[in-house]
Structure formats: structure tokens, C-alpha cells
Chains A and B, each alone.
Chain A
């Protein structure tokens, strides 16, 4: 059974950088595509980007200038870095298995990130 678990700070100050890590168990991270998705309060789901261990990452065009994703095969983890945060980035961030051309399953539990001074 594949399981994903996000880790990272629950609160970040405006203009700072968010770093999140997703630890994968039950699957080899080099075998699949991995993505980050977020949901702001009261809003819908937003795909942030997709990474793979041997391919360049793909990002949502609206976030591309602020996002970097990477894969760590030695620790079976993948990560998200988002710079220049604003309050609009306050959301629950999910790590998921799947690429931008396919479905997403399973999902991590999600981590709430609040951008506030």
C-alpha cells in the first residue's frame, strides 16, 4: 500500500520561502511521477507541479517563476520549494502520486501552510 506523508512548517512569513517534503512508502520513488496540489480555504484544487527522478519538472504556468521541485531517490522523498510567499499562498498542500497527464492517487494527508506575519 502506497502512503505519502508531507512535512514542513505550518506557518511562513510573507516574502519567505516554503519548503515541503513528501516521504513515500510502499513504492519506489524512481518508478512514478509525483506532484504537489494545493487547496486554498474555500477554493478548489490547484495543481502546482510534477516531478520525476529522471525528467525535468513541470510547473503550473502561474507559479512557475516561484516553484522548484526535486526528487531524492536515496531517501524516497520529493520536495517543493516556493519562494516569495504571500497570503494568497495560504492553503492545504497535498503531495500525490501521478503526473500532470494522468490521475492522482494516492494523496498524502495534506499539510496546512499559513502565510502570516
Chain B
């Protein structure tokens, strides 16, 4: 069982939007640890999508945005495109475990 909780799957029609949640606890997100998001396309390598809660690396479309509040974080994808079909993972630092932790991943179907 993952330390960070994500829904196993979400889906949306092309052009629509979806939100992927990431729920933590007082020892990670609630301890002011930053949240980072990754996109893992089938047959490819995980790619950094969002770092430090809200920041997009260069090259990531602004259709991808994220937020964090307390022990929860969210990734929002608007204007869904077929190529957005992938697994999405959240990641943070857990003070109790003294290590990095991931969510179980959310499979997005477009």
C-alpha cells in the first residue's frame, strides 16, 4: 500500500478536463513537504510534469496544472488529448520515513 493515495483510474473525453488527487498525511504533505507529479506514458520513461507543487518544467504544456493544500494535492489536466493517456504519479518526502514516497499511480484514459 502506497504512502500517498491516488485513485486507480480516471477518464475523460477529448477536450474535457480531469483532476487527479493525491492524499497524504501529517508526516508528508501535511509537514509542508513539496509534491511533484510525473507522467508515465506506455513504453516510455517517467517524465517530470510538475515540481514543487505548482511549477511546470520547460516544455510542459499549460494544460497541466497542480495545487496543494494541507495533506492533499491535485493535478488538473484540461483540454484532454489522446496522447495524455498515461499513468500519473505524485511524489513527496515523508519525515517519518526519512525518505521519498510515491502515490500508487492513476491511469488516465482519454
Contacts and interface: CB of A to CB of B under 8 A. Distances in A.
Interface of A: 35, 44-47, 50, 58-61, 94, 100-110
A50 B93 CA distance: 12
A44 B100 contact: no
Contacts of B93: 100-101
Which 5 pairs between the two chains have the least Cβ-Cβ distance?
A: A103-B36, A105-B48, A47-B100, A100-B100, A103-B51
B27 to A, nearest CB: 13
Question: A45, A46, A104, A106: which has the most chain B beta carbons within 10 Å?
Answer: A45
Interface residues of B, number: 24
Contacts of B2: 44
Given A44-B2, A45-B91, A100-B93, A107 B99 contact: no
Question: B34, B93, B99, B105: which has the most chain A beta carbons within 10 Å?
Answer: B99
Interface string B83-110: 0000001010100011111111100000
21 contacts: A44-B102, A44-B103, A45-B46, A45-B89, A45-B102, A47-B99, A47-B102, A50-B100, A58-B98, A60-B99, A61-B98, A61-B99, A94-B46, A100-B99, A100-B100, A101-B93, A102-B36, A103-B34, A103-B52, A106-B48, A110-B45
Given A94-B46, A104-B36, A104-B46, 10 more contacts: A35-B100, A44-B2, A45-B91, A45-B105, A47-B91, A47-B99, A102-B36, A103-B48, A105-B57, A107-B47
B42 to A, nearest CB: 13
Contacts of B98: 58, 61, 100
A107 B52 contact: no
A44 B102 CA distance: 8
Given A45-B105, A47-B101, A61-B97, A104 B48 contact: yes
Nearest to A100: B100
Contacts of A60: 97, 99
Contact of A103 (B91, B99, B101, B105): B91
